[in-house]
Structure 1
């Protein structure tokens, strides 16, 4: 037990708090948040959750205590954090990403759990019915329609036939995304060339494996992959192999383009769900939500570096253009 607590404390990142929960005022609510790894999209979700709670009247330092733990990409640590949360007994536990949510579901018993940024909560075993979730778990999904992104690639790269996909085969949502891309891609004349990477350290090799085999790379919302995006960008620049993603935050980091969700807004929607639970709404009455529309983000410098020409009409349709 002592070893477990030390491991969890070592990975702690708290909003205005350090270490285990202190004595709590009876009117103060506690929300415990965990996430598998730190990268801009998940960070935006976490910050959005806190903002959404504040919008609903739950403010840190007044009537809310937020505890946040990063697993630093380690599933053993993630399990330890989930067990720690079970002992802390927060009013609501939040898992950002599929592995984090799965760990909480396994550890929290009947305590309220909310997930965020989970692509396919049914395939991940979190809920069986998104419209009528189980009594103690609901949340937000970033499940996307792949046809618009593949259509964008076809517009930008008319000669492209093979799309490389890097993903973690051990993450259920990543596998579901790749299967979805293959099904949609086949109807659009694309062959999806998958290049699995079971952990982040294997991602650079997975990217290099696609050189000469794919005309472009399309990355799913896979945390193991997105956390080391820069390594993929380096391969793309050197090989003139354009890199596209489903994560808009990745465009600022060097991807050519993304059609995806605003993860900060997703966090706010999640925070509102948490607030509803804190106010007494039964989880069974809160369906799983896929918030917002897909927004187009473009990086003109990255496009030029990877040999992609962005037509004026595509640029004009973008929500954000990074020059």
Structure 2
């Protein structure tokens, strides 16, 4: 009888022990499961266009269930144009075991891709020509841990707009930064379109933003109008460019609305915020398990008319009614 009682007591104790152990283990697993993921966002430098993309990424994540501080931790890093910072910050994300990273500007994407070593997902936010940068195999099938959105400018539309506004312009100056792959890609593609359309052009290059004053002064003496492509270096030195071209009474047609705000005359601009938002939506789907390797790159190629009335006044220029009406009703007007 005593043996039976001792056996019952032993079995009872064992059941209690196993129950407690199971409860603790389950609690630990629940804690791990509920741990919110970290998303690292790396931005090349501070600039209105890149800042707009950043805001869009956060909004896209939020609208798809990843609320900063609640269901996702966002580690935002800005390299302020320093290449060494890009490398250090990229490695920081890897050391923190970020669930994925988001790249704003090509140099940031290249740094993140190198640090990720084909493992941690990298989401591109408006990166021009990602295949040409070696980041992916193709837009349709990226083929590795990198996907996202591409900031492909509507270049033919930009040339059409320039010719509509300035039909008598004989030679167009195209300026870009040699160290910016996206800028070089856009500039050379724009030049090819000019050649196809029988429009004369001259190319001007910057090694860095410090070259803008001298190069733009040379350019202003040789052309009738300037095209400023989507290029981080040119965008950063836009005000220097405009100071020079205004003195020469030469218009600048840039690629994006933020460059119009900084003194460009007009453009058909892809919305940078919406581009970032689309990247945020893609980032959310990857966090939920979607594979990057066959997740096609997404593009926004339709631009909205954007004009700068203050710049037009400085140049003594009057916009055609159709252009001004389109900007007022469907686009943006800077006064």
Which structure is larger by alpha-carbon Rg, 1 or 2? 2
1 CA distance for matches of 2:176 and 2:91?
27
**Correspondence 1:136 to 2:114:** no
Report the alpha carbon displacement of residue 212 of structure 1 after superposing the two structures with TM: 1.4
Alignment of 1:172-321 (within 5 A): 172-291=181-300, 293-318=302-327, 319-321=331-333
- What's the C-alpha RMSD, in Å, of the aligned pairs? 1.5
Tell me if the contact between 1:242 and 1:307 (Cα under 8 Å) persists in the aligned partners.
no
**Correspondence 1:55 to 2:82:** no
2 CA distance for matches of 1:145 and 1:215?
22
SS at structure 2 position matched to 1:280: coil
Deviations 1:100-127 (A, max 9, x none): 1011111111111011121111111111
2 CA distance for matches of 1:189 and 1:153?
14
2 CA distance for matches of 1:308 and 1:215?
14
Tell me if the contact between 2:44 and 2:108 (Cα under 8 Å) persists in the aligned partners.
yes
Report the alpha carbon displacement of residue 288 of structure 1 after superposing the two structures with TM: 0.3
Deviations 1:251-302 (A, max 9, x none): 2222101112100000110000000011111112421011252111001110
Structure-2 residue corresponding to 1:108: 116
Report the alpha carbon displacement of residue 220 of structure 1 after superposing the two structures with TM: 0.9
2 CA distance for matches of 1:174 and 1:308?
28
**Correspondence 1:86 to 2:98:** no
- The gaps in structure 2 that reach 5 residues or longer are 1-31
1:36 pairs, out of 27, 35, 44, with: 44
Count of residues in correspondence between the two structures: 300
- The gaps in structure 1 that reach 5 residues or longer are 1-23
1 CA distance for matches of 2:85 and 2:63?
32
Report the alpha carbon displacement of residue 308 of structure 1 after superposing the two structures with TM: 2.9
1 CA distance for matches of 2:301 and 2:203?
28
SS at structure 1 position matched to 2:212: helix
SS at structure 1 position matched to 2:92: helix
2 CA distance for matches of 1:64 and 1:227?
31
Normalising by structure 1, report the TM-score. 0.89
After TM superposition, the runs of 4+ consecutive aligned structure 1 residues lying more than 4 A away are: none
Report the alpha carbon displacement of residue 191 of structure 1 after superposing the two structures with TM: 2.2
Tell me if the contact between 1:161 and 1:189 (Cα under 8 Å) persists in the aligned partners.
no
Deviations 1:62-105 (A, max 9, x none): 11111111111121221222222222221111111111101111
Structure-1 residue corresponding to 2:7: none
Report the alpha carbon displacement of residue 160 of structure 1 after superposing the two structures with TM: 0.7
Tell me if the contact between 1:156 and 1:309 (Cα under 8 Å) persists in the aligned partners.
no
Structure-2 residue corresponding to 1:18: none
Tell me if the contact between 2:53 and 2:276 (Cα under 8 Å) persists in the aligned partners.
yes
1 CA distance for matches of 2:293 and 2:137?
12
1 CA distance for matches of 2:229 and 2:178?
12
Which is helix-richer, 1 or 2?
2
